[in-house]
Structure 1
Amino acid sequence: MKRVLLSAYACSPYKGSEYCVGWSWAVGLASKGFEVWCITNTEDHEDCEKEKQELKLDNLHFIPIKFPFVADKYWLNNSKKVIYAHYFLWKKKASNVAVSLHEKYNFDIAHHVSYGSFQQGSSLYKLDDCKIIFGPVGGGQMSLPIFKPYFGSSWGTEIIRKYMSEFLMKYNTSLNETLKKADVILTVNEETKTLLKTSKYYKEGHDFSVSDSALPKQFEGNQFNAKEPTEEFRILWVGRLIPRRGLELSLKALSFLPEYVNFKLIIVGDGEQGGKVQGWIKKYKLDPSKIQHLGWIPYSQVHEEYENADVMLFCPLRDTAGLQATEAMGFGLPIITMNISGMRTIVTEDCGIKITPTTTDGTAEDIANAIEHMYSNPDFRKKASEQAYKRAMANTWENKIDAVTAQFY
């Protein structure tokens, strides 16, 4: 069986987002029989080893890249900007570790999966005589100017991000060397594919579209339960409360709903904008009794909210993909979302309603119209619920890894 070197900076069996991506690839490849060496950071190494033993995957080897105590203790913090400095240093050291491992084990394939940032490149570009796969990666998506009001003072950061992307495209050695060496580049959305094609190192026929969102393992046993219409229409919003996730836009949209729509919005998550929720409720003259902010809750309770909701409202202003939407679909929730970035492909027309951004107010009104349509058309909602469940059940990590390995390994 082939030997695989996996680059997964974030990797944890107990966390979501990038951590889930790294872990799912590591376990998924090992479960298919590949001999896998996974280079990662130290943050969740003990959890990875513990769960690996439980799964009896002796062909999976975790290689944590360690730094002096200060760097790993204070910089390895995903909630702060210093994480990018840690990742930069990690990539440099990981490149050398990868070369040493390759000299020892002679890998057939070197595959980068996390972080899934296109502009950052990979730590695997120094390897010779093995197939290099870069991705799935995103990062080409940029915030539209019409969304500026929802970013507030952080809009400047969005502008800096745009210029930084242009700088990295030209001058980031890690990225440019990765694009030169990679045999396969997997992009998660059209924006990133378009950005890739602007590089002078773009090689036609080597890039393919693959979403980095799939149904987590613990959801795969879900059974479809048709939701009967109730008096109260429960709308679920899940995510970190940061500007690009667009909670303010969703609350503004609710202000355009006609009075006969008897809704309740349940907000799961917290973050830097958590303290602004009550102010937004007042700003848009919403009934506070119709908004419930739960903050961070245990994963088991999130499952309950998925089961009890009628629809998921997930309208990020900029996002690579949307694991929340995939999870919600696994519980049969129709999705109301934006027709941009990863959500463009994760949610199909028969799974919900996708809104193409127009103007600042126009987009909010279109979201309101989508909510009203879901509320007023239970038959449409029921069909969208069934299709959402079917699509999520087909979009498992096992199926995704089967497809990628069959085509590229």
Structure 2
Amino acid sequence: MKNQIKVLLLIEQCNPAWQSVPLEGYKYFQEISKLVDVTLVTHDRNKEYLKFDNTEIVCIEEMHLFKAYYSLVEGLVYKHKVNWPLYNSLTYPIYAEFNHKVYHKFKSKILNGDYDIVHAITPMIPRYPYKIVKACHSTPFLLGPVNGGITFPPGFREKAREEFAYLNFLRAIGRFLIPGYRETYKKADRILAGSTYTLNLLKRLFNLPDSRISLFFENGIDSNFVLTQKPPKQDSKVHLLFVGRLVPYKCADIVIKSLSRLNQTIQNKIDLTIVGDGSEKVLLEKLVQKLGLNDIVQFIGWVPQSQTLDYYRQADIFCFPSIREFGGAVVLEAMANGLPCIVANYGGIGEYVTEETGFKIEPISPEYLTQELTHKIQILVEDDQLRESMSVKSIERARQFTWERKAIELVKIYEQMISEKRSLDK
């Protein structure tokens, strides 16, 4: 039975057919709407993918001018690989239109008390304002989880250049120039940060007390991804896996180089499957050929998320030394399928993995990360008992992050915020 709380849920990016943030936004909406009375506000581009009975969905239309503008932006930033700093800056006017229309459409309803709480989820990066906060005098406003703002580790300047990090100064400019940005964070009743890095960043930027900001990990996992236990191995090989976009900061090249440093005895025991596509694929294939690893490394290319489940369940170890990961859903997916994970201890992924579920490597430099990854792979390949123990603990850890569980936690936060706001208004 649903809780009678009425929630205005702002998820501009909410689409089950897309990856990353739009898919996350959809998962939050899907599970929250099972527990409370939701009015979803999203962009019109998501309309055809959102078919829900007994749930009010309001799709905000976009001006034709902005549709043409977005096509122009895509042409500028999608050359070979995405220039994210430029993309986020140039697409802000499109979000600004959405933000403005949401405010004027729902301002009166909020002031009239039609909703018990307003919850804004996407965009998730902490550089967007929500004008609707101006109307939330008696109605609590919850923001998040917001996640991002992370810089590249100092020892990875080359990869930072490849990812256009020199344009990140645009973030700082936006904090001062974007109307309503600071007001959003100053007036929000509560902010959820998707990682400890972002939590500390926002506390520092806005001088936020602990009572107004808390840690709430961004990513979740579907229950059907979580194994009860990993089935017995069917062969003697130890199967390594990498899943992700093939772009510089994901560091698939470091995984490949690590394999080349293993002694021949270990190499004979393993193989590596790389699932994903991106601007670095051709370079990575050449690297495999150069290092003589053609018999060990297999490139699968991009597959739909539903099909990645097969690769997780066939694997034994997950290698993901990404050096600038905000959420890192693939790490949760790997853990849910009983894979010990070897990750870089930086950003969100370092918080999912514990000493019982895998290894975290400090990203001091590419050389150090490669060296330590080689060492950790060798340990797990040679120690069947440790691998099996970490497999069990990984599944246990992943169960804490199911979307259903996250939605239940959010409803508890709603109840607390509503109670606190009503107490203050008396």
Name the TM-score, length of structure 1 as normaliser. 0.89
The CA RMSD over aligned residues, in Å, is: 2.3
How far, CA to CA, are the matches of 1:339 and 1:177 in structure 2? 33
What does 1:179-328 correspond to in 2, within 5 Å? 179-200=185-206, 202-219=208-225, 222-228=227-233, 230-261=235-266, 262-283=269-290, 285-328=291-334
Structure 1 unaligned regions, length at least 5:
none
Aligned residues: 396
Q: 2:375 aligns with which of 366, 369, 372?
A: 369
Structure 2 unaligned regions, length at least 5:
416-426
Deviations 1:26-70 (A, max 9, x none): 1222100x2212222223321112xx2xxx4x0x22222221345
- The residue aligned with 1:141 is 150
Shift in CA distance, 74/28, structure 1 to aligned 2, threshold 3 Å: same
Tell me which amino acid in the other structure corresponds to 2:58.
I
Q: What's the CA shift for 1:249? A: 2.0
- Is residue 2:347 matched to residue 1:346? no
Tell me which amino acid in the other structure corresponds to 1:2.
I
- The residue aligned with 1:65 is 60
Tell me which amino acid in the other structure corresponds to 1:242.
V
Asked whether the 8 Å contact 1:7–1:124 carries over to 2, the reply is: no
Asked whether the 8 Å contact 1:21–1:113 carries over to 2, the reply is: no
- The residue aligned with 2:94 is 89
Shift in CA distance, 256/175, structure 1 to aligned 2, threshold 3 Å: farther
Q: What's the CA shift for 1:73? A: 6.4
Q: 2:37 aligns with which of 19, 35, 38?
A: 35
- Is residue 2:12 matched to residue 1:17? no
Asked whether the 8 Å contact 1:95–1:126 carries over to 2, the reply is: no
- 1:265 aligned counterpart, secondary structure: strand
Q: 1:112 aligns with which of 117, 120, 129?
A: 120
Asked whether the 8 Å contact 1:4–1:108 carries over to 2, the reply is: yes
- The residue aligned with 1:400 is 406
- 1:211 aligned counterpart, secondary structure: coil
Tell me which amino acid in the other structure corresponds to 1:215.
I
Q: What's the CA shift for 1:268? A: 0.6
Shift in CA distance, 61/218, structure 1 to aligned 2, threshold 3 Å: farther
How far, CA to CA, are the matches of 1:139 and 1:298 in structure 2? 25
Deviations 1:279-308 (A, max 9, x none): 22245x241121111111244431111110
How far, CA to CA, are the matches of 1:174 and 1:294 in structure 2? 45
How far, CA to CA, are the matches of 2:66 and 2:335 in structure 1? 39
Shift in CA distance, 205/378, structure 1 to aligned 2, threshold 3 Å: same
Q: What's the CA shift for 1:103? A: 1.5
- The residue aligned with 2:5 is 2
- 1:306 aligned counterpart, secondary structure: helix
- 1:120 aligned counterpart, secondary structure: coil
How far, CA to CA, are the matches of 1:39 and 1:148 in structure 2? 40
Shift in CA distance, 27/102, structure 1 to aligned 2, threshold 3 Å: farther
Q: What's the CA shift for 1:99? A: 4.1
Asked whether the 8 Å contact 2:150–2:347 carries over to 1, the reply is: yes
- Is residue 2:88 matched to residue 1:101? no
Name the TM-score, length of structure 2 as normaliser. 0.86
How far, CA to CA, are the matches of 1:173 and 1:70 in structure 2? 22
How far, CA to CA, are the matches of 2:393 and 2:44 in structure 1? 40
Shift in CA distance, 217/38, structure 1 to aligned 2, threshold 3 Å: farther
- 2:135 aligned counterpart, secondary structure: coil
Shift in CA distance, 316/174, structure 1 to aligned 2, threshold 3 Å: farther
How far, CA to CA, are the matches of 1:374 and 1:25 in structure 2? 35
What does 1:36-51 correspond to in 2, within 5 Å? 36-49=38-51
- The residue aligned with 1:331 is 337
Shift in CA distance, 329/73, structure 1 to aligned 2, threshold 3 Å: farther
How far, CA to CA, are the matches of 1:217 and 1:18 in structure 2? 19
How far, CA to CA, are the matches of 1:115 and 1:364 in structure 2? 34
Shift in CA distance, 200/327, structure 1 to aligned 2, threshold 3 Å: closer
- 1:199 aligned counterpart, secondary structure: helix
